[in-house]
Chain A
Amino acid sequence: MSTTKKFAVVAVGLGLVTLPVLTACGASGDNGSADPKTVTLVSHDSWAVSKSVLKDFEKRSGYKVKVLEDGDAGQAVNKAILTKDNPQGDVFFGVDNTLLSRALDNGLFQPYEPKGSGLILPEYRVDQDKHRVTPIDSGDICVNYDKKYFADHKLAPPSSFDDLIKPAYKNLLVTENASTSSPGLGFLLGTAARYGDDNWQDYWKKLKANGVKVVDGWEQAYNEEFSGSAGGKKAKADRPLVVSYASSPPVEVIYADPKPADAPTGVATGTCFRQVEYAGLLSNAKNTEGGKAFIDFLLTKEFQDDMPLNMFVYPVREAAQVPEEFTKYGPQAEDPETMDPAKIAANRDQWVNSWTSLVLK
């Protein structure tokens, strides 16, 4: 008996052993089966919702919801564009204003105006003539500060972009790589919006001279370099300023045991860039009816009220409940920087490239 034959025996044996294991896990294909009772959501890895709220939707609508998460926001959008002729699902959630034009120009979505779109706060409305996407949530990318550090040093925390280049705050700020990190890019766009196409590079030269540190991603900036976070404290971090989100301080309160009376960190409210996330019905969705019902659901008061404590973002629907921790510890910026998605799309790569040679080289 040849070795190969014997291996075939072993292989078949192993196959028989593993087959039940494989089937027990319930192999299910993608939505190619086009089951009219299942609606599939494609999203990035920050998607989160309370179980009860999702169950409620399933019960009321009669659809079963399947969620596919595809890495970070940029990756998820690119994958959706790559597969747009044969999409993985029916609804895409999580394309933000920095990626919106790429998605629209590539024909990722088909028009649908959901029920309740009249209740979306006016400042979030986009694409009003075609309704290819619907805003779902918003968040602000802002500099966070470590309260203890500034109290100990009897120094007022910075509150604006202008403050960050003052000598008092030398070597205190850590930010993320704009070419690979979403908050890093948001901060760059914030400065571009604040100082204009001609002057933002100047601002960054001054920021660099003032000792800004750039690390690769948010996890490293926040957990390793920022002295106000749990990880940073353990790592003896020495940067009391970090580019993060306006909702980070509330998270520091909610995810602490026991809960502190006050947040350990604060937000420099004049350093914010607004991010808005949209959902849309995928162009070749197999279950358009289910997809429409799901987008309607994303705008219901029930979902919008539930969303902030799951994804740490703000609702876009008027009169939605904002949790007390948010209003208390991470108020939305009064006047955040914003930028038209088309302008972002036109300049993004060139800006990131010049930022890279200016700040990293």
Chain B
Amino acid sequence: MALPVAFFGVFFAYPVAAIVARGLKADGGWQFGRIWDVVAQPGIGHVLWFTTWQALASTALTLLIALPGAYVFARFDFRGKQILRAVVTVPFVLPTVVVGTAFLALVGRGGLLDEWWGVRLDTTVWAILLAHVFFNYAVVVRTVGGLWSQLDPRQEEAARMLGASQLRAWRQVTLPALAPAVAAAALMVFLFTFTSFGVVQILGGPTFSTLEVEIYRQTSEIFDLATAAVLTVIQFMAVGAILAVHAWTVRRRETALRLVAPEVTARRPRGAGQWALLAGVLASVVVLLLLPLAVLVQRSFDAPGFGYYRALTSDDSGVFLVAPIEAIGNSLEYALAATAIAVVIGGLAAAALTRRDAGRLVRGFDALLMLPLGISAVTVGFGFLIALDEPPLNLRGSWILVPLAQALVGVPFVVRTMLPVLRAVDARLREAAAVLGASPWRVWREVDLPMVRRALLIAAGFAFAVSLGEFGATVFIARPDNPTLPVAVARLLGRAGELNYGQAMALSTILMVVCAVALLLLERVRTDRTGEF
């Protein structure tokens, strides 16, 4: 427990507190009066309202579109399921600026919707909502689908035998079992969309503004730290309230669910209704997720003889000191380090939260761990700068800062994945092994490890994807001689010239492939028990 608390305190709470304090302290005294000045500004209420409203709407829409997907991925067997499940996670790692490009090709002028139905959604709130679905589809499919695939269908069948209607059986048997997973997924999606930045700016246009955008503007453009600090506090309170509600509504998940192996529950679709459902879900995945990604791939091949890919290997472009292709290695290094940190910290936290004697304090810590998902990256970044600049914590400018910052986002995922598995290990198994003469080491190796190892790998996959696509912290101390993939893409897009644009598309495609391959390798590993994420 000590290590996660220390990690969270030093790399999250302390930097954020430092930058907020810097903003609220002026002329030697606390300026709490500033809070009311800011809150009273006419625009702020509007921004807060829009932020909350679009996050709720995005969450609802994501659930609406992705829950049938979760069901299909959980209960049906069809060819290409594994690859498709990896591919739907790919949007997660793409830099927003690239997603903007891909999405405009779908909803913008001359985009597909425009050609088919003459509909243009760019600069409307619909573009923002759809892009949020695009980003967060995988969150729901993995969180809810993972559990759904392991629910024993015979329980529902038993209810039917006892005379319940199909609807009632589902409502009283399946839904309660799924509820915690749906709630966890909804929370994740809400936090991600509540702090959405690039999507809102690029697809909504400059007329839309969220809290995150305002904090960025006040910090980076106007340099009004006091206002930024107040907005951060507001964001903090809003996210805190959401977490409290979530913690209060979700029961501890040690309810005895009869879980079975997913192989048992998935089968070929039967009957017209099931085939229609499968077709509908696949169609939505193709239009919403695959088409935008395909646009990027197609544009990366738009030069004769793989020209854009070949250009990636030359280092005299002046954009970087190294060939852009070297960004792949840098990205993988950061991602591996971040994954290791997130798995250790998250694993320890999950272990501490599992203990039967875990007090209310520890459980509160569970909610706290989610906070980094709901706090502005620019706040954390600036906090790092002014907080971690003195020995022994002189980490500014050290490369380790990047994986540390990325691990902050990775830890909640790891905890969400491992917690249920650790809670499900039956103590009697260990006792039985011990009675039969196994040493404690062997008990651990034979009983715990097989179960935990799989959850660990799944968790590691999430942490890896988060880190691979992470942009905010990386930009922070990126050196021109070691850019990561997302940084390199953004930098290439920031320049005129056809070759630069093409290389950005090519690097984005490489980023997608790296992510998909990594996830496919992890897909090969199956959990016995499911993660709530």
Contacts and interface: CB of A to CB of B under 8 A. Distances in A.
Interface of A: 1-4, 6-11, 14-15, 17-18, 21-22, 25-32, 40, 45-48, 50-51, 66-72, 74-75, 78-79, 81-83, 86, 88, 102, 177, 179-180, 214-220, 222-224, 229-231, 234-238, 244-245, 248, 251-252, 254-257, 309-310, 312, 349, 360-361
A69 B354 CA distance: 42
B205 A214 contact: yes
Contacts of A74: 220-221
A99 to B, nearest CB: 9
A15 B333 CA distance: 15
Given A71-B475, A219-B493, A31 B104 contact: no
B238 interface: no
9 contacts: A4-B348, A21-B333, A25-B337, A29-B394, A78-B223, A216-B206, A235-B109, A248-B496, A310-B318
A184 B302 CA distance: 30
A71 B347 contact: no
Contacts of A32: 389, 391, 394
B501 A70 contact: no
Contact of B497 (A8, A9, A18, A256): A256
Contacts of B394: 29-30, 32
Contacts of A31: 397
Nearest to B201: A216
Interface of B: 1, 3, 22, 97, 100-101, 104-105, 108-110, 201-202, 205-207, 216-217, 219-223, 299, 302-303, 307, 311, 315, 318-321, 333, 336-337, 340-341, 343-344, 347-348, 351-352, 354-355, 382, 385-386, 389-391, 394-400, 422, 425, 440-441, 443-444, 448, 452, 475-481, 491, 493-502
A179 B22 CA distance: 23
Contacts of A349: 222
A348 to B, nearest CB: 9
A-B pairs with the 4 shortest C-beta distances?
Answer: A255-B497, A30-B397, A236-B110, A230-B498
B207 A361 contact: yes
B97 A180 contact: no
B336 A21 contact: yes
Nearest to A349: B222
B417 to A, nearest CB: 14
A180 B498 contact: no
A349 B224 CA distance: 11
Contact of A75 (B1, B220, B443): B220
B498 A81 contact: no
Contacts of B382: 78-79, 82
A18 B337 contact: yes
Nearest to A237: B109
Nearest to B311: A257
B466 to A, nearest CB: 17
Contacts of B340: 14, 17-18, 21
Given A4-B352, A27-B400, A219-B97, 20 more contacts: A1-B443, A7-B351, A11-B348, A25-B333, A25-B399, A30-B397, A30-B398, A32-B394, A48-B320, A78-B219, A81-B223, A83-B396, A102-B223, A215-B202, A217-B202, A219-B493, A223-B493, A237-B109, A251-B495, A255-B495
B397 A83 contact: no
A252 B477 contact: no
A69 B343 CA distance: 29
Contacts of A220: 97, 100, 202
A67 B479 contact: yes
Contacts of A230: 497-498, 501-502
B29 to A, nearest CB: 20
A258 to B, nearest CB: 10
A68 B344 CA distance: 29
A215 B208 CA distance: 11
Contacts of A4: 1, 348, 351-352, 355
Given A30-B394, A179-B221, A6 B448 contact: yes
A148 to B, nearest CB: 14
Contacts of B354: 3
B206 A360 contact: yes
Nearest to B478: A69
B110 A7 contact: no
B382 to A, nearest CB: 7
Contact of B355 (A3, A29, A46, A47): A3
A25 B484 CA distance: 14
A223 B101 contact: yes
Given A14-B343, A69-B478, A217-B201, A1 B398 contact: no
A25 B222 CA distance: 37
Contacts of B311: 257
A11 B344 contact: yes
B220 A78 contact: yes
Contacts of B452: 10
Contacts of B302: 234
A86 B319 CA distance: 29
B406 to A, nearest CB: 14
B359 to A, nearest CB: 14
A180 B386 CA distance: 23
A270 B43 CA distance: 36
Contacts of A6: 351, 444, 448
Contacts of B493: 219, 223
A215 B320 CA distance: 27
Nearest to B334: A25
A222 B496 contact: yes
Contacts of B97: 219-220
Contacts of B496: 222, 229, 244-245, 248, 251-252, 255
Given A4-B1, A25-B333, A69 B398 contact: no
Given A179-B217, A361-B207, A231 B101 contact: yes
A164 B223 CA distance: 32
B348 A7 contact: yes
Nearest to A6: B444
Contacts of A50: 318
A218 B303 contact: no
Given A25-B333, A88-B396, A224-B108, A71 B476 contact: yes
A69 B347 contact: no
Contacts of B108: 224, 235
A129 to B, nearest CB: 26
Contacts of B321: 51
A2 B495 CA distance: 56
A361 B216 CA distance: 20
B243 to A, nearest CB: 24
Contact of A11 (B205, B337, B347): B347
B399 to A, nearest CB: 6
Contacts of A238: 109
A206 to B, nearest CB: 20
Contacts of A22: 337, 400
A303 to B, nearest CB: 14
A79 B217 contact: no
B490 to A, nearest CB: 8
Nearest to A245: B496
B313 to A, nearest CB: 14
A34 to B, nearest CB: 12
A83 B499 contact: no
A237 B109 CA distance: 8
B220 A71 contact: yes
A11 B480 contact: no
B82 to A, nearest CB: 27
A328 B347 CA distance: 61
A235 B110 contact: yes
B480 A67 contact: yes
A88 to B, nearest CB: 6
